[in-house]
Structure 1
Amino acid sequence: MSSSSEEDLLFAVALLANEEEEKRERKVWVHNIYEKRETYGEFHHLFPDLLKDRSKFFHYFRMSQEKFYELLNLVKPCVERENTTFRRAVPCEERLAVCLRFLATGNSFRTLAFSYRLGETSVRRIVYDVCDAVWTKLVPIFMPQPDKEIWERNELEFRERWNFPNCVGAMDGKHVVFDKPANSGSLFYNYKKSFSIVLLALVDANYKFVMVDVGALGKNSDGGIFSNSIFGRKLQQNKLDFPPDKILPGTNELMPHVIVADEAFPLQRNLMRPYPGDESKRNTEKRIYNYRHSRARNTCEDSFGILSKKFRIYQRKMQVSPEHMTKFVLATCVLHNFLREDHPNLLAELIEEATPALQDLRGTGGTYTGSALRIRDRFKDYFSSHAGSVEWQERMINVGRRNTNE
């Protein structure tokens, strides 16, 4: 081999060795910004001060300190990471703080990355992992699969609090808006000319979610969203484990347990919707029924309002995939139940700061059977009878009419 060939070979070997060394250096290289995370990162310099002020802590994380650490203990086994040779893992407490701040504000991953002095990819991974852990660990405790005992408790609360016996839940659906996913065409394009997935929820008398179904395409018809959901299919197939029919208080009238919903849903044996507006205007008993129906159904509307005001991700057009948006929705729904009784006074202050951002489903109705019509008529008659009426109902249904006539 000539000397020039030997020199070329040695040069090539040296070059490859140098490239390998540079690769190794890049693998362990950390930007100066991230190196100072434990000194200037938002968690390390702000969190200790937040712990000294209960109100500020609540407004920052949307929960009290007690709930924060209760939640941390629940999700810690799923989100804890081990230190490696090259870097220390982000502590569980900080990981939870990053995720909760994301859900509370809807700030971009890049914004959070700068404020917490973490890599943008790390922030994304942390938020996805913690949301998964929140749903996995909390849903068996705070949103368990309903059984007869849960349905019976719900019926008692609707009867005593909202004057609607035999009601076991209120149902509604909302479009959760986000940026158009790449290469999705019109799959998520809804009737309000935005892109969305659908949150379908059943709520109890205390504004807690009983069941949620998330992820239906925004383009789907609203009637189809319900009929194709797991909840809708179980209701139609009588597989929700409802208690046996029950006598209405003060009567001998045996009636089924029902769910109340608005005009977007079909009238069924166990699913009541209001009378059409034109029909109820000419009939006082139907207007009374609609008023009583609305009182019970508004628990679901109010729950959506609380959810969207507490977690501001619903007031932003998130630039994420539908799968990740579904993770956020599921996590916030079960967190809503977890936090329902957490410092109601501070929650009221928080809710006043924002307006609801979820979009309604369209009222499409659907087919119904004669038995469903008869069940609704029997509720109508009951609410206007001596046994089932409440003293203020006629006054309430005449308030709007009196103002209109003036």
Structure 2
Amino acid sequence: MLLAFSSPPFYTTYVHLPPEDDPTPARIYHAPRYHPFFAHALGAADGSHITTAPPAEERGPSRNRKGGVSQNIFVTCTLDTLLFTYVLSGIEGSATDATVFQMAREADFRVPDGRYYLADAGYGFLDVLLVPYRGVRYHLAEWGRANVKPVNKEELFNLRHAKLRNTIERLFGILKKRFPILRSGCEYRMKYQVRLPPALCALHNFIRLHDPSEINNFIDIHEDPDRPPSTGELAQGPATRAERERANARRDYIATSMWNSYQEWARQAEEAQEMVL
């Protein structure tokens, strides 16, 4: 069954990249806080560590920064329906998220021109990813502890970006609770262990599509329990200086537009309050 779930036709039926003309996700389109600022987002992207049990001679490269033995996977998902759209597995746990992402780009991960995925700052500036500002409050837990409002465009951008991108953190949490083997590991041969993540992502999608209400069993899950609240390290991939400048300019344009809209909304709210008083 593992081979069947991780191979065509089952896998390709239930896990596939969105088409080039995929519309703006409804979660963005119908929310003034997100639209039109994130109108070109296709979904969210991130990596996650899956516990493995490789032979003793292969454990060195598989040891991650937390000291565990794992494979690092790269995944993308929808923002509306909690579906996986791409999975690359089998990369040693010592590899950074940015390295795994570059391997996906060199394999078969394709993003239509003008579209992008929401990702954390560990991936750096790329045309196909939109990342938050570094050195600025980002993760939702940080905002919850601070209990303050954004004071500039960078904080506002990071807050709204985090709320959208948290979808993939929650999805990883759901996947690992649904299939505990992803956290406990197994003793199968490595060629089968690397097939577990894509197979179970496809099975998750099958369940979501044919029994949508089943997701209510995981309503209390908000993030991947195996991902620390960290922005990681900047990608050192092959992005050119021109690409980094384009990505940075795009983010600044979105952040500025969002901040101006937010300021206008705050001004109108203040005027309305004064009228009531």
TM-score scaled by structure 2? 0.75
C-alpha contact 2:18 2:42 (8 A) present in aligned 1: no
1:242 paired to 2:112: yes
Gaps of 5+ in 2: 139-148, 270-277
AA in 1 matched with 2:123: F
1:134 paired residue number: 5
1:179 paired to 2:53: yes
Q: CA deviation at 1:139?
A: 2.1
C-alpha contact 1:216 1:225 (8 A) present in aligned 2: yes
AA in 2 matched with 1:275: Y
What secondary structure is seen at the aligned counterpart in 2 of 1:148?
coil
1:376 paired residue number: 251
1:106-143 CA-partner distances (Å, limit 9, x unpaired): xxxxxxxxxxxxxxxxxxxxxxxx11112223222212
Identity of aligned residues (%): 22
1:194 paired residue number: 68
AA in 2 matched with 1:144: H
Q: CA deviation at 1:331?
A: 0.8
1:363 paired to 2:232: yes
Distance 1:391 1:133, change over 3 A: farther
1:147 paired to 2:16: no
For 1:7-406, list aligned pairs within 5 A: 130-136=1-7, 137-149=9-21, 152-153=22-23, 155-160=24-29, 163=34, 164-205=38-79, 206-227=81-102, 229-231=103-105, 240=110, 242-243=112-113, 256-278=114-136, 284-349=152-217, 357-359=225-227, 363-366=232-235, 369-386=244-261
Q: CA deviation at 1:338?
A: 0.9
AA in 2 matched with 1:221: T
1:354-386 CA-partner distances (Å, limit 9, x unpaired): x95544587111356222111100110121233
CA distance in 2, matches of 1:321, 1:391: 57
C-alpha contact 1:170 1:299 (8 A) present in aligned 2: yes
Higher Rg of the two aligned structures: 1
Q: CA deviation at 1:309?
A: 1.1
AA in 1 matched with 2:119: A
Determine which structure has greater relative contact order: mean sequence separation of CA pairs < 8 Å that are 6+ residues apart, divided by chain length.
2
Q: CA deviation at 1:233?
A: 6.3
Distance 1:184 1:241, change over 3 A: closer
Distance 1:190 1:318, change over 3 A: same
CA distance in 1, matches of 2:54, 2:197: 17
What secondary structure is seen at the aligned counterpart in 1 of 2:91?
strand
Q: CA deviation at 1:192?
A: 0.7
C-alpha contact 1:135 1:334 (8 A) present in aligned 2: yes
Q: CA deviation at 1:214?
A: 0.6
CA distance in 1, matches of 2:185, 2:106: 28
C-alpha contact 1:181 1:320 (8 A) present in aligned 2: no
Q: CA RMSD in A?
A: 3.2
CA distance in 2, matches of 1:376, 1:351: 31
What secondary structure is seen at the aligned counterpart in 2 of 1:200?
strand
C-alpha contact 1:261 1:271 (8 A) present in aligned 2: yes
1:89-116 CA-partner distances (Å, limit 9, x unpaired): xxxxxxxxxxxxxxxxxxxxxxxxxxxx
AA in 1 matched with 2:13: I
CA distance in 1, matches of 2:150, 2:218: 41
CA distance in 2, matches of 1:390, 1:208: 35
Write 1 or 2 for the structure with the bigger share of helix: 1
Q: CA deviation at 1:241?
A: 5.2
CA distance in 2, matches of 1:138, 1:376: 38
CA distance in 2, matches of 1:321, 1:187: 17
C-alpha contact 2:49 2:70 (8 A) present in aligned 1: yes
AA in 1 matched with 2:235: G
C-alpha contact 1:315 1:357 (8 A) present in aligned 2: no
What secondary structure is seen at the aligned counterpart in 1 of 2:181?
helix
